[in-house]
Amino acid sequence: MILLGIETSCDETAAAIVSEHGIQSNLVHSQLEEHRPFGGVVPEIAARSHIEYLDSLIKRALNEAELNFSNLDGIAATAGPGLIGGLIVGLTMAKSIALVHDLPLIAVNHLEAHALTPRITSQIDFPYLLLLISGGHCQFLIVDGVGHYRRLGTTIDDAPGEAFDKVARMVGLDYPGGPAIERAASQGRANRYALPRPLQGRAGCDFSFSGLKTAVSRIIAKGKVLEKDVPDLCASFQEAVADILTDRLRHAAQAFVEAYGKGVLVVAGGVAANGILRERLKATANEIGFSFAAPPLSLCTDNAAMVAWAGIERLRLNMVDDLTAAPRARWPLDPNAAPAIGAGVKA
Ligand code: AMP
Ligand code: MG
């Protein structure tokens, strides 16, 4: 089975060819430079840029894999959640190819693609405990199987990637903030600034990051953070995020144990690229009897290989879509999940 995957849900235009034996080609065109002047992703610019680059990227992905459309068994494209303009571009392209070449279409949930990514490179069986940490999401899920997810907790305000990006901006580091903060933090002292750990010790597995972000902005507002202090502030912030994630992990793992016994913790999403967070999560997981798996760094941030792979997993189970599949800006993995505590609930 060999599929073309297309990813256009945010600011990465991506195309990949993946078979059941692994990744044949995996191309990403990042729009970073186009959005950098604005300090974040501008939806209209993103959609236009996807239109500009997607067809040539698909052609290159096929060339690199030394294949053409007639060799494919299906087309998978991200249909949500994400920025609607970009989703329309990618899904419409996938539908056109599916129609012309008479191939099955798989409309992929971007979060499911992240959730299944570790299975591309490792033998990880269902069920497993998943921590999805990215620019727009933060949730613990039990992955029972393809299409079967139970959300244990989510963020009541910001996602951690968002917090990394905003804090980076506050201290004058480049967008995207995650890698910039991680680099700066490697030179800093994590115990220099006292920052809050919202919801620490509270029951359940929900998260909160906005108070942490505000605490950083208060320290900066006092005017005492000079350039030489930035590494310490970044390290202190990163440490607080690690503490929050590991505290919540203990609760989520307990819920998993009650259902299935000890298992595997999988982390995925862009923030899972952070080395310190990976280390801390792995240490806590091991301490409570869980093994740990994380995708290789190149598969943590948005890419099309994970979309093609989700397509393979679905196609194997005959879970295909037709040409009426609609792009969805919001598309929770677990539609039955109870709302998070607090007011600002995110799907
Ligand atoms: P995604 O939403 O999955 O595309 O991931 C993008 C988010 O991951 C952005 O908010 C980045 O700042 C964040 N990110 C990427 N690399 C790192 C890192 N090394 N540490 C923390 N956050 C990161
Ligand atoms: Mg993502």
Which of 139, 271, 300 maximizes ligand 1 atoms within 8 Å of its Cβ, making it the mutation to test the pocket?
271
Average pLDDT score over residue span 61-66: 98
> Ligand 1 atom 5: the closest Cα is on which residue?
270
pLDDT for 37 = 86
**Same fold yes or no, 2-116+299-316 and 125-294:** yes
CA 191 to chain centre: 28
pLDDT for 342 = 61
28, 33, 38, 39: CA torsion to nearest 10: 70
Contacts of 90 (CB under 8 A, 6+ apart): 6, 7, 8, 9, 50, 54, 77, 78
> What residue has token string 């979309």?
307
Q: How many whole angstroms from 183 Cα to the centroid of ligand 1?
A: 13
> Ligand 1 atom 23: the closest Cα is on which residue?
178
Is 90 exceeded by the pLDDT of residue 343?
no
Q: pLDDT for 106-152, tens place per residue?
A: 999 999 999 999 999 999 999 999 999 998 899 999 999 999 999 99
CA 118 to chain centre: 12
**CB-defined site of ligand 1, < 6 Å:** 10, 134-136, 161, 164-165, 176-179, 182, 269-271, 273-274, 301-302
- Which ligand is nearest to the Cα of residue 271, counting in written order? 1
Which of 301, 303, 306 maximizes ligand 1 atoms within 8 Å of its Cβ, making it the mutation to test the pocket?
301
Is 80 exceeded by the pLDDT of residue 24?
yes
Average pLDDT score over residue span 181-188: 98
pLDDT for 176 = 83
Reduce the DSSP state of residue 204 to 3 states and report it.
coil
CA 69 – CA 64 distance, rounded (Å) = 13
Task: For the chain, give every domain's residue range.
Answer: 2-116+299-316, 125-294
**Angle at 283 (CA atoms; ends 282, 286), nearest 5 degrees:** 80
| β-strand pairing of 12-19 with 22-30 | antiparallel
> What residue has token string 């310190």?
276
Q: pLDDT for 218-256, tens place per residue?
A: 999 998 899 999 999 999 999 999 999 999 999 999 999
CA 217 – CA 210 distance, rounded (Å) = 11
Q: How many whole angstroms from 269 Cα to the centroid of ligand 2?
A: 6
Contacts of 53 (CB under 8 A, 6+ apart): 13, 29
> Ligand 1 atom 17: the closest Cα is on which residue?
178
Write down the architecture of domain 2-116+299-316 according to CATH. Answer: 2-Layer Sandwich (3.30)
Mean pLDDT of the chain: 95
- What are the Cα distances from residue 329, in Å, to 15, 43, 80, 110, 151? 20, 12, 6, 11, 19
Q: How many whole angstroms from 323 Cα to the centroid of ligand 1?
A: 32
| Exposed e or buried b per residue across 39-69, where buried means at least 16 C-beta atoms within 10 angstroms of its C-beta | eebbeebbbbbbbebbeebbeebbeebebee
Q: Is-contact 137 269, C-beta < 8 A?
A: yes
- What are the Cα distances from residue 323, in Å, to 6, 46, 99, 100, 298? 16, 24, 8, 12, 31
| Domain 125-294 annotated CATH 3.30.420.40 | yes
- pLDDT > 70 fraction of the chain, expressed in percent and rounded: 98
Which residues make beta-bridge pairs with 292? 265
Is 90 exceeded by the pLDDT of residue 335?
no
Q: How many whole angstroms from 132 Cα to the centroid of ligand 2?
A: 9
- Which ligand is nearest to the Cα of residue 300, counting in written order? 1
Is 60 exceeded by the pLDDT of residue 303?
yes
